[in-house]
Amino acid sequence: MRPLPETDIDRALDLAYLVFHDTPEEEKRKHHHDLLLGCDRIGAYDGDALVGLIAAFRFTVSVPGGELPCPGLTFVSVAPTHRRRGVLSGMIAKLYEMCREEGRPVAALWASEDAIYGRFGFGPATHGNTVEINSERPLALRVTPDDGPLRLVDPADAPALLGAYYDRTRADRAGRIARSEAWWSEEWLVTEDEEDDELSPPRVVVLGAGPDGTRADATRAATQTDGRQADGAHTSPDSHTSPESPGSPDSPAPIKGYAVYRTKTRDDAPGLVRLDELEADTPQAAAALWRYLANIDLTGVVRAWGRPVDDSLLLFAADRDQVRVTGHFPALWLRLVDVRAALEARDWAAPAALVLEVTDTQVPANDGRFRLTVAPGDATAEGTDTPYEGTATYTATYEPTSAPADLSIEVRDLGAAYLGGTRITAAVRAGLATEHTPGSAAALDAALRTAHLPHTADEF
């Protein structure tokens, strides 16, 4: 096992395509080559033959109260001639060694096969819903949509505008990955969808001030209750929001939310709006964007994949027969590579004092009994010793101990709960953790709790 040099990237791609039964066109191969150039890479060699590959994006992920460097595993491949010979185990062990040496306490992936990664200590830390809206009739809402102007933005201009909003709001939920402009352009706003070439190019609609910072006086979807509009035809040409004249991203006033979506005409069914992402500051802003999507002419279904489990739409939709959850799935799988560093890096919601007995067969330093103490502390402004005024938080210490355990848990289940989206008490009820002191699991749940459930929309 050793770092894979740049000169072996083409060999690595050949291996990955062999394993995943893929024969990409040259443009897609070049994109994958560029992705691997920016990744950490581990190769497994049998003599001169490359028989295994792990690549890791150099991500930063939001955690409660902050963020952590987080390798995002991708292109995980083992040659079919070398399966079940310890190749994957060796590469992952090498990755964990690198992470601990470089101060990266967590790692993450999207599991193509759930059964594989649990044994390496990964647990599903975020989940997503697939939501469908029957938009053949007006979307019934229990809240009044924000009446601010909606405008379409040229996808070429969107990374700067959406990126600033996303960066400002990313800390509101754990599990969200920092995005570069290149990631926006190449992963979110690419012209042709990789999985369905019948979908339109991406459309970007924002809620907020017009290009000159003023309100746009125009008929718009947010104020229509029973009308329909063509995609992008909901504002007057004078407001610079028609598809022929997209809004500039240089508005001095902050936007209140945005949606990224694509549309598709279908011969045997109503037209489809596929929502890729919707973010909003308030329920009213979210309602305005949802109603815009449901009002796009010549469509009858809005399908949104990967929505937060606690999406406010599911509460403010007036007709849950019209707005249905059609799927639920694990999203980001998290691995606590350095349990102590990870636990001490996040903020906590309540005090706790208990001894954890953690089982970790992959990383011996994590295995054993540790005293977790969560106590009040002050959140300090970054780069200073000055507490934020009026900000109370709880911080943790985590030290080895020989005291009896209050709770026994595997590292995968602790990782699943780390971001606040999975209950330790549920693991106890399922027989996956053992509570030696009554109430210890509930106390840990209370300390891990977050205001919003964690959420990850970036699949990699």
Instruction: Please state, in angstroms and rounded to a whole number, the distance separating the CA atoms of residues 62 and 456.
Output: 10
Nearest CA among 82, 95, 21 for reference residue 51: 82
Task: Determine the pLDDT at residue 376.
Answer: 92
271-280 pLDDT, tens digit each: 999 999 999 9
Letter for the amino acid at 168?
A: R
- For the chain, the residue count is 460
Distance between CA atoms of residues 395 and 374, nearest Å: 5
Chain centroid to CA 180: 14
Q: Which residue has the higher pLDDT, 268 or 67?
A: 67
- Going by C-alpha positions, the residue among 135, 414, 421, 422 that lies closest to residue 269 is 135
Cα gap 111→372, rounded to integer Å:
30
What's the CA gap between 165 and 274, in Å, rounded?
21
User: Cβ(105)–Cβ(68) under 8 Å?
Assistant: yes
pLDDT, position 104: 97
What residues contact 21, with CB distance under 8 A and at least 6 apart? none
pLDDT-derived band at 18, boundaries 50, 70, 90: very high
What is the distance between the alpha carbons of residues 244 and 410, in angstroms, rounded to a whole number? 56
Secondary structure class of 231 (helix, strand, coil): coil
Residues 6+ apart with CB under 8 A from 226: 138
Q: Are strands 301-307 and 272-280 parallel, antiparallel or unpaired?
A: parallel
Rounded to the nearest integer, the mean pLDDT of the chain is 89
pLDDT of residue 439: 97
Crossing angle between the packed helical segments 9-19 and 26-37, to the nearest 10 degrees: 120
Token digits for 147? Answer: 């009446």
Q: How confident is the model at residue 392 (pLDDT cuts 50, 70, 90)?
A: low
Reported as half-sphere exposure (CB side, CA atoms, 13 A), residue 74 has a value of 19
pLDDT, tens digit (0-9, with 9 covering 90-100), for 48-74? 999 999 999 999 999 999 999 999 999
User: Distance between CA atoms of 74 and 56, rounded to whole angstroms?
Assistant: 6
pLDDT band per the 50, 70, 90 thresholds, residue 416: very high
- Mean pLDDT check: name the lowest of 10-14, 215-219, 331-335: 215-219
Beta bridge partners of 262: 274
Is residue 354 within 8 Å of residue 444, measured between CB atoms?
A: yes
> pLDDT tens across 207-221, in order?
986 554 444 433 343
Strands (E), 79-179: 106-109, 123-124, 127-134, 150-153
Q: What is the pLDDT of residue 452?
A: 96
Closest CA to 119 of 394, 423, 415: 415
pLDDT average, residue stretch 162-178: 94
The pLDDT of residue 161 is: 93
Q: What percent of the chain has pLDDT over 90?
A: 82
Rounded (5°) CA angle 430-432-434: 100
- Distance from C-alpha of 403 to C-alpha of 377, rounded to nearest angstrom: 25
Q: How confident is the model at residue 195 (pLDDT cuts 50, 70, 90)?
A: confident
Strands 323-330 and 368-380: what pairing?
A: unpaired
Contact 331, 456 (CB under 8 A): yes
Which tokens go with 145?
A: 């949509």
- Residue 77 and residue 25: Cα distance in Å, rounded? 20
* Greater pLDDT, 159 or 382: 159
> With bands split at pLDDT 50, 70 and 90, how would you rate the model's confidence at 248?
very low
Please state the rounded mean pLDDT for residues 324-330. 97
Q: Is 141 a residue whose pLDDT tops 60?
A: yes
Task: Count the helix, strand and coil residues of the chain and give each as a percent rounded to the nearest 5.
Answer: 30, 30, 40
More confident residue, 121 or 233: 121
CA distance linking residue 305 with residue 272, whole number of Å: 13
